[in-house]
Chain A
Amino acid sequence: DIQMTQSPSSLSASVGDRVTITCRASQSISTYLNWYQQKPGKAPKLLIYATSSLQSGVPSRFSGGGSGTDFTLTISSLQPEDFATYYCQQSFSTPPWTFGQGTKVEIK
C-alpha cells in the first residue's frame, strides 16, 4: 500500500494567517492527490482534487500543489470556519486508496 504522511499533525494559527500543510507519499503518485476537510461530527468534504483543482463551491483561498511524492495544501488567509482537520488521499493506480493521518488546524 502507498503510505501517506502529513505534517504537521496539528498546528495553531490565527485568523488571517497563511497556512500550509504538507503531504508526502511513499512512492510517486503523479498528481493523484485529493484534499478533504472534516469538522467534528461531520463527514469529510472534498476541497481539492487532482492536486490542484478546486472543487465547486470551495473558496479560492484554498489551493493545492505538488507532484510525484510531495504535495501541499495552502489556505491563503485563514477564516474562522477553516478550523478543522484536513486529510490528503491518494488514488494512484490500484486500490486501496489511502489517506494521510490528518492535520488538525486549531485557533491560536
Chain B
Amino acid sequence: QVPLQESGPGLVKPSQTLSLTCTVSGGSITSGTYYWSWIRQPAGKGLEWIGRVYTSGSTNFNPSLKSRVTISVDTSKNQFSLELSSVTAADTAVYYCARQTSNWGQPIDYWGQGTLVTVSS
C-alpha cells in the first residue's frame, strides 16, 4: 500500500494562490520509478490531469495550466506539493494527488482520497 494524503486550505480567495501538499506514507517517495501527480475534478465533472514531478525535480504540466502551476518535491519529508496561482471560481474542484508508474501505459495506480478546494471570496 502507498497511502497518499492531501492537505491544505479548503477555501481560497480569487486571485490568490492555491497550495496543497501530498504526504506519501508506507514507503519512500524515492523508491522505484514513479511520477508524483496532481489531478483535479470539478463537482459532477470529469478528471483533469494537472501535472507531475519526478523525484529528481523534473516536471511535466498540462499546457492549459502551465503558466500558473508549480509542482515540487521534498524527499526529506516524503512529500510533494502543488501551487496554482491566480485562481478563479473555475479552479474549484476536488484535487487528488496520485502516483503514476513508469510501466507500459504509465497508469496512475494509487490515489489520495482527494480534497475539495473552493475558490470564493
Instruction: Report which A residues bind B (CB closer than 8 A).
Output: 1, 31-34, 36, 42-46, 49-51, 53, 55, 87, 89, 91, 94-102
| A-B interface pairs (CB < 8 A), number | 72
Pair B114/A33 contact, Cβ less than 8 Å: no
Say if the beta carbon of B106 comes within 8 Å of chain A: yes
Pair A43/B96 contact, Cβ less than 8 Å: yes
User: Contacting A101 at CB < 8 Å: which of B46, B49, B61, B113?
Assistant: B46
Q: Beyond A87-B46, A100-B46, is A32–B105 a contact (Cβ under 8 Å)?
A: yes
Q: Beyond A43-B114, A99-B46, is A34–B105 a contact (Cβ under 8 Å)?
A: yes
Say if the beta carbon of B62 comes within 8 Å of chain A: yes
Distance between Cα atoms of A44 and B111 in the complex (Å) = 7
User: Contacting B105 at CB < 8 Å: which of A45, A51, A96?
Assistant: A51
Report whether over half of chain A's contact residues are helix, strand or loop; otherwise say mixed. loop
Pair A96/B114 contact, Cβ less than 8 Å: no
User: Contacting B47 at CB < 8 Å: which of A49, A50, A99?
Assistant: A99
**In the A-B complex, the 3 residue pairs with the closest CB atoms:** A50-B105, A49-B107, A43-B111
Distance between Cα atoms of A99 and B98 in the complex (Å) = 15
